[in-house]
Amino acid sequence: MVQTAEKETKSKMATNEVTDFYDIEVKRGLPTGSKNKGLYYHLVVSEAVVDHWDDGRPRLDVHTVVASGEYADKVGPRGTMSLGGYEGTRADGRPFQITPKEQAETLVEFVQLVHPEPIQFYHPVGLSAAGEYVGLDESALETIAEAIVGAEFIAKVREDKNGYMRWSYVHSMGDPPKGFEV
């Protein structure tokens, strides 16, 4: 009987020393600097997948991993680039609009920075004489997705208001931000 009481006391003590499952604070992601102002990281594209939004617009989801430094091999932020325009309402009720041209420019700029060698597309992709983007479709996104896996770049990483890591201020490996060394 003495042994049973001793085991019970040890069991209670161990339970009291354990933080409850729902009280555990899990911190994932990368450090983002003082007051979440962002830190630059050397990232590599680990996966690029073509998918669709609920409204049918195609998108390119780009997953990254930290390529060097103290946090090498840690999961990096995910970026999403879409085709077609989008209209919506902000949380505060104000409307916003993103034009198809703005989304195409974001995609083109990113791909040119991370993959400076020309990509061979299966149909013409570019800018028409009228200044309109042509050939940017799901097929072009599939070609881009295949080409950019393994591409390296430098970007500032921060947490957004929902707690997700996001990148901004993308730099090519040949033009790193001031003071950044790989």
Amino acid in position 13: M
In angstroms, rounded to a whole number, what is the distance separating the alpha carbons of residues 36 and 19?
Answer: 27
> What pLDDT sits at residue 45?
98
- Please state the pTM of the whole predicted model: 0.80
Candidates 103, 82, 79, 102; CA nearest to 153 is 79
How many CA atoms, within 13 angstroms, populate the side-chain half-sphere of residue 96?
Answer: 9
Q: What is the pLDDT of residue 15?
A: 57
Burial state string for 31-68 with b = 16 or more CB within 10 A and e = fewer than 16? ebeeeeebbbbbbbbbebebeeeeeeebbbebbbbbbe
What is d(CA 146, CA 119) in angstroms, rounded to the nearest whole number? 10
38, 166 contact by CB (below 8 A): no
Residue that has been written with the tokens 């983002």 in this structure: 32
Give me the pLDDT at residue 182, please. 75
- Are the beta carbons of 130 and 114 closer than 8 angstroms? no
Sequential pLDDT tens for the chain (182 residues): 555 555 554 555 455 677 677 676 655 568 787 778 889 999 999 999 999 999 999 999 999 999 999 999 999 999 999 999 899 999 899 999 999 999 999 999 999 999 999 999 999 999 999 989 999 999 999 999 999 999 999 999 999 888 889 999 999 999 999 988 87
Residue 118 one-letter amino acid: P
Using CA atoms, how far residue 65 sits from 5, 20, 104, in Å, is 51, 31, 25
